Amino acid sequence: MLRALWPVVLVLLVAYTALCDPLDDRVSALLRDVEYLDSRGVDVSNITKSLDAAIRLYDANRTSETMGMLDSISSEVDALKSQAEGIYLRRTVARYGVAALALSLPLIAYLAVPRAYLYLWFRLRRGWLVRKRRGGGK
């Protein structure tokens, strides 16, 4: 029984691979790269709009224009992939820098507020004169 199913399975596999669209492979690879860029914090809104336009062109049976658009999108994605790690590093450093600053504010206040208070107190009272009291002491 199992030997009788092999030709059917092989015919189905051949038919499936023959019906696969070359656009699917290119678009899926581009979508995977766009997802990677998005996870790194790169703005990919223009790329997704271009991909949508390319797929709409393909649905309208304009394959040559579609392939041209996919080539330009692919080159743009490759250029952004080379910059993605730098963008991710800058965003990460900025995020952790803000967190470190927020966490250090209580320590800064603990150290700076008493000093600022004393400085202002001495500045405001620097013109005061101290007089000796009559009969009030030894």
Domains of the chain, by residue range, sit at: 22-97
pLDDT at position 2: 44
pLDDT at 23 over 90: no
Give the relative orientation of helices 63-124 and 45-59 as an angle to the nearest 10 degrees.
Answer: 160
Handedness of CA 34, 39, 44, 45 (dihedral sign): positive
Q: Which residues contact 81 (CB under 8 A, 6 or more apart)?
A: 33, 36, 37
Q: Region 23-30: what's the mean pLDDT?
A: 82
Among the ranges given (20-24, 60-64, 91-95), the one the predictor scored with the smallest mean pLDDT: 20-24
Q: Region 25-30: what's the mean pLDDT?
A: 84
Q: Region 117-130: what's the mean pLDDT?
A: 87
Is pTM beyond 0.75? Reply is no
